[in-house]
Amino acid sequence: MKHLVSGALLAAAIAAAPLGAAYAEINELKIIAPAAPGGGWDQTARSIQHVLQSDKLVGNVQVLNVPGAGGTIGLAQFVNSSKGDPNVMIVGGYVMVGAIITNKSPVNLSMVTPIARLTGEYEAIAVPAASPLKSLADLVAALKADPQKVSWAGGSAGGTDHITAGLFTKAIGVDPRKVNYIAFSGGGESLASILGGKVTVGISSLSEFDAQAKAGKLRILGVSSAARLPEAPDVPTFKEAGVDVEIQNWRMIAAAPGITPAQKQELSQTIEKMVKSKAWTEMLAQKGWANTYLSGEAFDAQLAKDIAATQTILKDIGLAQ
């Protein structure tokens, strides 16, 4: 009789559920953001958290911040403590690739299970509104005259900003080891140095300069995209100035080492559903992030290519052996 009653109650509950009700495919997930709150990786992790929960793809998502050393401290913790755990993931990106090399990290991205590249931001070069540099051609001329006199303000040494400055300099035939690069730990400090005229140029993601450019305080000389961007149609590309450099600061998500193929497939499918959702599309538009989704073997191949290219440019800059 008890079994009959229980079965009746279960049937009633199912019948009472709204038609088409969504249920989370994964009960619980923890995402490591290997940076302090507020930064790009933290924002990415919390955006993923919001969409996975709002679209009921995951029941409960927690974000844990583990900052330090360009993401390598969080990466080490993830690799060492999460082996075989399908309920923990980590956000990372291009900056981490450089940090692993420059910090000679004992852990690297070959030790995780890459799931997908998610978003990207193009790099931009900007100067104060009063700067005598009016174009990329002016910057190229200044670098060729004396690269040491051109100071660059950007993010961490060996990060995307630094790599882009090195690639830009190398592309115009100037020794990238002569790049006068000044690294700042935060975007606010870098921006203040640019606006204060303490450096010649600033280099960062385009979105970092957008507000000050619209206010007339900064002039954006160029962007690292292949073609002009819809959000900045008046900003020329590096290639338009004859500088053959195209680079994007991408962000990715990876799963723990040692998970099964079935677990990897489930996580990959969940992330793919998130990327294709309306909520994610709206989130990208809100943040000003480009959708650079790439998964599976294609992402594995691109990641290997990016790591090799980064190793080369960091050697050219003098930050790697």
Out of 241, 258, 279, a domain closes at: 241
- According to DSSP, the β-strands at 180-183 and 26-33 are unpaired
Per-residue pLDDT of 166-197, as tens digits, reads 999 999 999 999 999 999 866 778 899 999 99
pTM of the model: 0.82
Domain count, the chain: 2
In this structure, the answer to whether residues 114 and 44 fall within a common structural domain is yes
Sign of the four-CA dihedral 124, 125, 128, 132: negative
Please give the pLDDT value at position 42: 92
Residue 66: CB atoms within 10 Å: 17
Residues 108 and 212 in one domain: no
Give the domain CATH number at 237.
Answer: 3.40.190.10
What's the maximum distance between 2 C-alpha atoms anywhere in the chain?
A: 92
Query: Does 137 lie in the same domain as 63?
Result: no
Does 17 score more than 90 pLDDT?
A: no
Give 295's strand partners: 116
Predicted confidence (pLDDT) per residue in 48-95, tens digit:
999 999 999 999 999 999 998 889 999 999 999 999 999 999 999 999
- My answer on whether 127 and 209 are in the same domain is yes
Q: Give residue 40's pLDDT.
A: 85
C-alpha distances (whole Å) from 208 to each of 112, 197, 203, 223, 319 are 30, 17, 9, 12, 25
CATH classification at residue 265: 3.40.190.150
Report helix, strand or coil for 202. strand
Cβ atoms of 309 and 83 within 8 Å: the answer is no
| Residue 185: domain span | 121-241
Instruction: Indicate if 125 and 211 belong to the same structural domain.
Output: yes
